[in-house]
Amino acid sequence: MKTETAYQRCVNPVCDASYSIGEVLTSCRKCGWLLDVAYDWDRLAVPARLKQFEKKWATRRDPLHFSGVWRFKELLNFAPDEMVHTIGEGQTLLRTEPEVARYTGLKSIHLQYEGLNPSGSFKDNGMTAGFTHAHMVGARKVACASTGNTSSSLAAYASASAAGSGGQRLEAVVFVGSGRIAMGKLSQGLDYGARTIQILGCFDDAMRRVQEVCQSQGLYLLNSVNPFRLEGQKAIMYRILEGLNWEVPDWIVVPGGNLGNSSAFGKAFGELQALGLIKRLPRLAVINAAGANTLYRLFNEEQIRWHAGQYDRAKVDSFYARMDAERREAHTLASAIEINRPVNLSKCLRALELLNGLVAQADDQEILDAKAVVGRGGIGCEPASAASVAGAKKLVASGAIGRGERVVCVITGHQLKASNTTVDYHSCQGAELAKRFAGYCISSNQFANRPIQVPNELPAILKALE
Ligand code: F0G
């Protein structure tokens, strides 16, 4: 019956409803579960070997081949080329970092630095795909709720004119929680011209509201419940494989917030395996901030597992009901992942099952210390990103990850996103440190690189250089 080579499919195996690629949906109309973008692979041309993608680099004057997402287009082939909205995303690096390896207890470690994206975070991988679909369906206004990076990315893509838009800018509306967003991120959205709605509430409140508004006002929603966003985020995994000369690592370690990334990574590897492009799968470790640890608790304490789609939804609902009754609210310095109810929980559970995954948590002290160590390596990241390194360190210490295993930590966002936190970590001491980070579990800054204040006199300056 299907004439389209790409379509949308409900992730609930019992339902399995499918929808046209031209529909704008963020959940299944029949059962309410999330949707995947699915492909009729037999009717699509996919390179026989991953290495063949390298050829595209020779023709990188073509924006589609320059993009670190669209040069893998055969693996997310839902749009005609002329609809693709790219701003040059995905020129990112896979780096080994000896100091970070020592810190985590690993013999070596790879960091996939997504902070190099145009808006400074991994979100651009998904946003290019989301905007491409928005153009395909003729959207004029786009919106999201955000802890700051999705909104920065959306605002950047909306202000850049694109092929499918006929040169017209899309109108951007972003919903953010009041006082919960890092300044660097807020400044991006404002600068790129997005209408910025600061809700007196948390991210989860903003998420609920934007969904209501999109539904009633016909805005195109670009949060990660949009299945096209996650198609773009698969490309992070393709670039990691490329960086490893197409060898599969033992572990992918990623911070978990709304769980879009982990979901996309699972889908990417599942498809590569089904297409015969990889022979084995990596394992997945999702790291929550201890102050925003819904997935950690559901997975490790409530033992929630995907179970081929039959996961215990009643148990999840009662977990959330308890969370509300206890007025337990996410609270972490890693504001990007300060989320109570991750919208992609079901897809993440599916990824954890496929990739024999596990979930760990890191507290704010561990996150800020790891962040400082990553920074010393010259990469620099925002707090949420360092959760991956802090988590890897704990998993090596517990023996879950072997010292000699090949580990890739995804560094999701740029250091300049949250520079206040960085400066405070490095410059505050004693009572001042405690005061600055009151309410968070920060008692030390062992990796601080303190600025040295000196009078404007040469002898004093020379003394400081001793
Ligand atoms: N790291 C950073 C820097 C992020 O901004 C986010 C999510 C995550 C990790 C978590 O990724 O949601 O795929 O599990 N930021 C969203 C936002 C929520 O609105 O910018 P996830």
Q: Tell me, using a 6 A CB cutoff, whether residue 255 lines ligand 1.
A: yes
Q: Tell me, using a 6 A CB cutoff, whether residue 149 lines ligand 1.
A: yes
Q: Tell me, using a 6 A CB cutoff, whether residue 335 lines ligand 1.
A: no
Whole-angstrom CA distances from 117 to 54, 93, 187, 412, 414 are 20, 10, 17, 10, 9
Note the pLDDT tens digit of each residue in 189-214.
Answer: 999 999 999 999 999 999 999 999 99
What are the φ and ψ backbone dihedral angles of 284, each rounded to 5 degrees?
-120, 130
Q: Tell me, using a 6 A CB cutoff, whether residue 150 lines ligand 1.
A: yes
Distance 79 CA to ligand 1 centre (A): 25
Closest CA to 310 of 271, 349, 252, 261: 349
Whole-angstrom CA distances from 290 to 49, 54, 296 are 40, 40, 8
- Tokens 């160590």 map to which residue? 373
Note the pLDDT tens digit of each residue in 144-191.
Answer: 999 999 999 999 999 987 766 777 789 999 999 887 799 999 999 999
Average pLDDT over all residues of the chain: 96
Beta strands in 183-247, from DSSP E residues, in sequence order: 195-199, 220-221
- Tokens 């620099």 map to which residue? 380
> In the chain, what percentage of residues exceed pLDDT 70?
99
Distance 261 CA to ligand 1 centre (A): 8
Whole-angstrom CA distances from 166 to 85, 131, 354 are 11, 13, 41
Question: Based on C-alpha coordinates, what's the Rg of the chain?
Answer: 22
Nearest CA to ligand 1 atom 19: 146
The size of the chain, in residues, is 466
Using alpha carbons only, give the angle 28, 297, 284 rounded to the nearest 5 degrees.
Answer: 70
Whole-angstrom CA distances from 49 to 53, 67, 278 are 8, 20, 9
Q: Do 341 and 322 contact (CB within 8 A), yes or no?
A: no
Q: Tell me, using a 6 A CB cutoff, whether residue 257 lines ligand 1.
A: yes
Show Cβ contacts of residue 207 under 8 Å, excluding neighbours closer than 6 positions: 145, 175, 223, 341, 343
Note the pLDDT tens digit of each residue in 71-91.
Answer: 999 999 999 999 999 999 999
362: number of CA atoms within 13 Å, CB side? Answer: 34
Per-residue pLDDT band at 272 (split at 50, 70, 90): very high
Q: Which residues of 6-39 are buried (b: 16+ CB within 10 A; e: fewer)?
A: bbbbbbbeeeeebbebeebbbbbeeeebbbbbbb
Nearest CA to ligand 1 atom 12: 258
Task: Pick the atom of ligand 1 nearest to 263's CA.
Answer: 13
Q: Tell me, using a 6 A CB cutoff, whether residue 415 lines ligand 1.
A: no
Query: Which pLDDT does position 160 carry in this prediction?
Result: 87
Query: Which pLDDT does position 180 carry in this prediction?
Result: 78
Distance separating alpha carbons of residues 347 and 246, to the nearest angstrom: 25
Beta bridge partners of 199: 177
Show Cβ contacts of residue 459 under 8 Å, excluding neighbours closer than 6 positions: none
Q: Is 128 left (phi over 0), alpha (psi -120 to 50) or beta?
A: alpha
> In the chain, what percentage of residues exceed pLDDT 90?
94
Distance 334 CA to ligand 1 centre (A): 10
Note the pLDDT tens digit of each residue in 358-403.
Answer: 999 999 999 999 999 999 998 899 999 999 999 999 999 999 999 9
Using alpha carbons only, give the angle 40, 45, 46 rounded to the nearest 5 degrees.
Answer: 95
Distance 319 CA to ligand 1 centre (A): 22
Per-residue pLDDT band at 2 (split at 50, 70, 90): low
Distance 390 CA to ligand 1 centre (A): 16
Distance 1 CA to ligand 1 centre (A): 37
Distance separating alpha carbons of residues 228 and 225, to the nearest angstrom: 9
Q: Judge whether residue 1 has pLDDT over 60.
A: no
Closest CA to 128 of 208, 67, 202, 49: 67
Note the pLDDT tens digit of each residue in 410-425.
Answer: 999 999 999 999 999 9
Q: Do 142 and 112 contact (CB within 8 A), yes or no?
A: no
Using alpha carbons only, give the angle 383, 384, 390 rounded to the nearest 5 degrees.
Answer: 80
Closest CA to 37 of 76, 90, 2, 73: 76
Q: Tell me, using a 6 A CB cutoff, whether residue 259 lines ligand 1.
A: yes
Note the pLDDT tens digit of each residue in 229-244.
Answer: 999 999 999 999 999 9
